[in-house]
Structure 1
Amino acid sequence: MKNGARFKAVVAAALLGLLLLSGCTPKGGEQTIEIRLGEVARTVFYAPQYVALSQGMFAQEGLDVQLATIPGGDKAMTALLSNQADIALIGAETSIYVYQQGAEDPIINFAQLTQKDGTFLFARQTQDSFEWEKLKGQNFLGQRKGGMPQMSLEFTLRKHGIDPHKDLKLIQNIDFANVASAFGSGTGDYVQLFEPQASIFEKEGRGRVVASIGVESGELPYTVYMAKQSYLNTNSEAAQKFTNAVYRAQQWIATHSPEQIAEAITPYFKDTDLAVLTSSIKRYKEQSTYALNPMIEEKEWKNLQDVMTSAGELKSPVVLDKLVNPSFAQQAISSNSTGNTEPPVKKSTTESTDAGVGAGGSS
């Protein structure tokens, strides 16, 4: 190759490299901020998060979000406390547990993703109609003691006059990540399942959804983005950008159909049928599971502590402002609104408030 041609080739390669690099740089020439995010499970329950990733909302804020699935709230919190994660998506109860232990660097909740329990009561045997009394004496494959799924279940059972530790044959020796597979292998008559696992099991003929724990237990900060106080103090810009993206994703979810949402999150559920994803999202939208904004409200915080008290897991009440920093959510809402600084009211993302699962239907 002649020197002139070689020089042109080198210049072209350099220009291509610059173009590729510029494509990864946020608008305004800002440097990309890396955030290590730990989620407690891979579930359609977290659809807004996957929308923020797949639709480039985090990237638009100049964030490079590195997502890792760390099964179990206790394990995800351990990752956060040991600085293996910057931000974690876990139940807000875990921040209270850390606070109760006298942490010098408390875990602060700063953006809510879901406002109801995301599990469904799943029965192995097909039933013409479901009554809570039918649970008495049955083998129930439970969740981890002190975790939100188990506490929400116990809260619901007591509301229906059932003592979970006396009236059920409760099985709690199976790790969170293995509960669904254990039920699929024949353990238990009843189990709590997140979507899309509930819909997958229905499709496989392993039983049916008979009730929604989310509808039964009410609104609470079920899954929340949280970080150490020290991290938020030194990385407030990153936390704000993160919350901005989450809020835009929540609004996107509210204005798009289950079919559109399913298409958007498919990259995170490559082994799940699109129809199952769609029906799972429809269930969650119909019962207003996804929060419409990242604010944690006082009534939700109170309900969370009522659930914890019912389970015997709350040593003493914790006021909202001890463990919740609303400033990031407030700023996200304000900067993305059109002259209205009031947070949107958290309400159903569809016209219907019926859970649509009384008969186990997923359509």
Structure 2
Amino acid sequence: MKRSSLLLIFLASLSLIIGAGSFFVYRWSQHDKSYTVIRIAQCGPSLYKIPHYIAREKSLYREQNIKIRELTFDSDREALDALENGKADIALVSPASLIIKSASNLKEEPLAAAFATLDRGATYHLVSTKNNPLGDFSSLKNKTIITAPPESEETVFIEQALREKGLKPYEDMTLITSIPEDVRIGALKSGTGNYLLVEDKDLPEALNRGLFRVESLKSGFPAYVCVALKDYIKQNPVALQGFTNAVYMAQIWTTYHTPGETTAALDKTSEVKGPSLPGLVESYYRNENLAASPQLEKKDMETLIKMLDRSREIPMPLNASQLISGDFAGTALITVKYVPEDKEERTGLRRLKFW
């Protein structure tokens, strides 16, 4: 046998031995690792939680020595109650829900606070049975808009958007907030109202059922924040830093990958997978809903507090500083240096990594 052939056989055998050895060393190290279990409370799936799904599917939580246990509730309010009842450690909820919950007890300082954000803000659409772009908001005078319950983030947002255009909600136009979500499209098609406000995730269904998008609106605050009790934050700073690091790594992951690659990663996630997923993820990227970091801006919380106060959803304004805790996001921005493995330039022995 030629020397070159023997050399190739030797190198191939060496590669297999090193690869197998590195695999067993990795498995041994994982077996010996100590993980912190974090119980996450949330209400239903949402594309605005993409960083959480990516962190879970790509084992980014595990890289930070965290195991998650997910609990699903019927509402954000119940998810926040789970924190106070000791049934959960972190809640993924809308900032509006946190504000309303905190404002319900004015005798004491808020018990919970947000320490990270998952997204850059939701996108909403006004749809109609007629294909006539809105053009000027003044054309909404004397019209009827179907929207979510009064305390919902989308209704608070559309009320503020109307005011910014010089209109008075409930005076210049009618807002119907009592129709259940699953029959709103049917109600509009049957002649109840002129417009329907839908979230981005519900737009494909509205269009498929014969409605037309006449206006798109972007909120100026996150759709989801990560919330924990202040006592838990004080007692578990290492675990929360690891959780925030994983969320930030997932946000970085989305910037390195295309909508198609993100869809492929999410297709394993039972909460959001389905035939409409590719279009929704494409819209998520196009509308710039991706957050560059988990940093929660105080001004965003202040804006939402003012909106809720003006809509009379809270008895009085809260101090935004009391609803934001820690600097976990700031620390993550400084310390996390992450490039997704499939986007790294791999040379030499690094190619022998099998896990």
Shorter chain as denominator, the TM-score bin is 0.7 to 0.9
1:38 deviation in Å?
Answer: 2.1
- Tell me the residue number matched to 2:122: 117
Letter in 2 for 1:80: L
Alignment of 1:38-187 (within 5 A): 38-100=41-103, 101=105, 102-103=107-108, 106-128=111-133, 130-174=135-179, 178-179=180-181, 181-187=182-188
Given the superposition, is the C-alpha separation of residues 124 and 90 from structure 1 closer, same or farther in structure 2, using an over 3 Å criterion? Answer: farther
CA contact 1:109–1:224 (8 Å) conserved in 2: yes
Post-superposition offset of 1:104: 5.7
Q: CA deviation at 1:129?
A: 5.0
Q: Give the whole-Å Cα distance in 2 for the aligned partners of 1:197 and 1:92.
A: 21
SS, match of residue 186 in structure 1: helix
Partner of 1:228: 229
CA distance 1:195–1:84, shift in 2 (3 Å): farther
Instruction: Evaluate the alpha carbon distance shift between residue 69 and residue 209 of structure 1 in structure 2; reply closer, same or farther with a 3 A threshold.
Output: farther
Superimposed CA distance per residue, residues 171-211 of structure 1 (whole angstroms, 9 cap, x where no aligned partner): 2224xxx51x2123335543332233212332x23313333
Q: Secondary structure at the match of 2:228?
A: strand
Change (3 A) 1:272 1:26: farther
* Rg (Cα) greater in structure: 2
Secondary structure, counterpart of 2:117 in structure 1: strand
1:287 to 1:235, Cα distance in 2 relative to 1, 3 A: same
Tell me the number of residue pairs that the alignment of Structure 1 and Structure 2 aligns: 308
The 1-side partners of 2:306 and 2:174 are apart by: 24
Look up the equivalent residue of 1:116 and give its one-letter code: G
Contact 2:131 2:213 in 1 (8 A): no
Distance of 2:157 and 2:297 partners within structure 1:
18
| Matches of 2:147 and 2:293, distance apart in 1 | 31
Q: Secondary structure at the match of 1:253?
A: helix
Once residues 312 and 87 of structure 2 are traced to their aligned partners in structure 1, the CA distance between those partners, rounded to angstroms, is 30
TM-score normalised by L of structure 2: 0.76
> Would the alpha carbon gap of residues 26 and 96 (structure 1) be closer, same or farther in structure 2, given more than 3 Å must change?
farther
1:314: how far off?
4.7
For residues 176-325 of structure 1, the aligned pairs below 5 Å read 178-179=180-181, 181-187=182-188, 188=192, 189-202=194-207, 204-214=208-218, 217-218=219-220, 220-268=221-269, 269=271, 272-273=274-275, 276-325=276-325
| Separation (CA, whole Å) in 2 of partners of 1:323 and 1:198 | 32
Compute the TM-score of the two structures, normalised by the length of structure 1.
0.75
Aligned amino acid, residue 66 of structure 1: R
1:125/1:34 CA distance change after superposition, 3 Å: farther
After superposition, what is the alpha-carbon deviation per residue over 1:92-111, rounded to whole angstroms, capped at 9, x for unaligned?
A: 23333343313466111101
Residue identity matched to 2:128: A
- What amino acid is aligned across from residue 202 of structure 2 in structure 1? Q
